[in-house]
Amino acid sequence: MKAHESHGAASVTANDREPLAPDLARSRPRLAIVVPCFNEELVISETVGRLLEVLRDLREQGQIASESFLFFIDDGSIDQTWNLLRDLNKSNPEVKGLKLARNFGHQNAVLAGLLTVRHRADCVISMDADLQHDPQAIYSFLDKYRQGADIVYGVRRDAGNVPLSKKIGSSMFYWLMTSMGAKVVKDHPDYRLISAKVLDTLADYKEVNVFLRGIFANMGFRSEVVYFDVHDRAAGTTHYSWRKMIGLALDGVTSFSVVPLRIIAIGGVLITLGALAVAVFIVFSALRGDVVPGWASTVLPIYVLGGIQIMTIGLVAEYIGKIYSEVKQRPRFISDQELS
Ligand code: UDP
Ligand code: MG
């Protein structure tokens, strides 16, 4: 069983989205920029200003359709973030948003934004609210999209401005993911462009514990990479504590890999083999009579049964892995194009 391969129902193609002519959706798409915000009152006005500049410039250059917009998801902020967004929306019609009922966490906030704009855009860019993701890269994202890419991954060019603890954290995270056989793009945060086709496929992933980076890497489709510079946070502090980072890493591994479960089974087999070898030694020692009476009959079952127990847990874990991939109901295949 390969948990990182696709299972579930077929992907759908856009249905209730009012389609543009296909070539127009590529050459002058309706772009939505999705930005999750959690207590970002210190930075949100500046971010809106910078993104509006980029959006208007792109529109003037005829690179995107006039219906393009910014979409902010307030992830249960307890500061002025939502009020500021409301004011900005009054003076700038391109600023739109959604307020979640409470804090659902970064991944769910991005997912909420993506699925909400699903039928209003031909391509969507997701990025952080703190301007750490250089908005200048949006131009290159769109170039790649126009050339036919369905997913464009933003990859950190130089992590010079990132604190050492974060660098160590993300290297460990990447190592853990790849050694457990889960696919992720190295140094790619949640800064990416996806096409409407990818967005429709995303809607077919019904899992509750979302790890977006893994989901997109798992999908396939034509993808490209754009390198961007990491800036310091424009204001405020990170919301990603070590605890949250470890939680994300665990979600990433357990959502895309059954290797941890398989390690139990392999461990069980190795221990049983070791126990059998020890058993031979114990039986010989007992036959030669150079052991304390009762010793052999006590230790022999401990080793052998211990090994068999762990092996059995490994076997049960294989089934749990199967159940896990079934309940996620991921698409069993994802179609890209069809000739008719
Ligand atoms: N964020 C969110 N919900 C959360 C935590 C963070 O929507 O529970 C948003 C946050 O406002 C920012 C993005 O996710 O736009 C990334 O968070 P942050 O910059 O704190 O993380 P870092 O860049 O330090 O990893
Ligand atoms: Mg940040």
Q: Is 190 in the pocket of ligand 1 (CB under 6 A)?
A: no
Band the pLDDT of 8: cuts 50, 70, 90. very low
Mean pLDDT, the chain, as a whole number? 88
- Angle at 235 (CA atoms; ends 233, 46), nearest 5 degrees: 100
Contact 155, 222 (CB under 8 A): no
Tell me what pLDDT residue 312 has: 92
Distance (angstroms) between ligand 1 centre and the Cα of 110 equals 10
Q: Which CATH number fits domain 3-257+335-339: 3.90.550.10, 3.90.226.10, 3.40.50.620, 3.20.20.70?
A: 3.90.550.10
Lowest-confidence region among 46-50, 159-163, 196-200, 226-230: 159-163
The whole-number pLDDT of residue 205 equals 93
Q: What is the pTM of this model?
A: 0.84
pLDDT of residue 116 exceeding 90: yes
Q: Considering every ligand atom, which ligand is closest to the CA of 243? A: 1
Burial of 93 (0-12, 13-18, 19+ CB in 10 A): exposed
For residue 148, pLDDT over 80 is answered with yes
106 Cβ below 6 A of ligand 1:
yes
Domain boundaries, the chain: 3-257+335-339, 259-328
70/54 Cα distance (integer angstroms): 11
Task: Answer yes or no: is pLDDT of 230 > 90.
Answer: no
Interatomic CA distance for residues 327 and 264, integer angstroms: 22
Q: What is the pLDDT of residue 154?
A: 96
182 contacts 219 by C-beta, under 8 angstroms: no
Residue from 125, 130, 156 whose mutation best tests the ligand 1 pocket (most atoms within 8 A of CB): 130
Q: Assign 47 a pLDDT band (cuts: 50, 70, 90).
A: very high
How large is the average pLDDT for residues 327-339?
A: 87
Q: Say how far apart CA 168 and CA 75 lie, in whole Å.
A: 27
CB of 133 within 6 A of ligand 1: the answer is: no
**pLDDT above 70 (res 160):** no
Identify the pLDDT of residue 22: 66
Confidence of residue 7 (pLDDT cuts 50, 70, 90): very low
Task: Report pLDDT for 244.
Answer: 83
Reported as a pLDDT band with limits 50, 70 and 90, residue 17 is low
Mutational pocket test of ligand 1: of 33, 42, 79, 128, the residue with most ligand atoms within 8 Å of the beta carbon: 128
Closest CA to 198 of 226, 225, 218: 218
User: How far is it, in rounded angstroms, from Cα 189 to Cα 1?
Assistant: 28
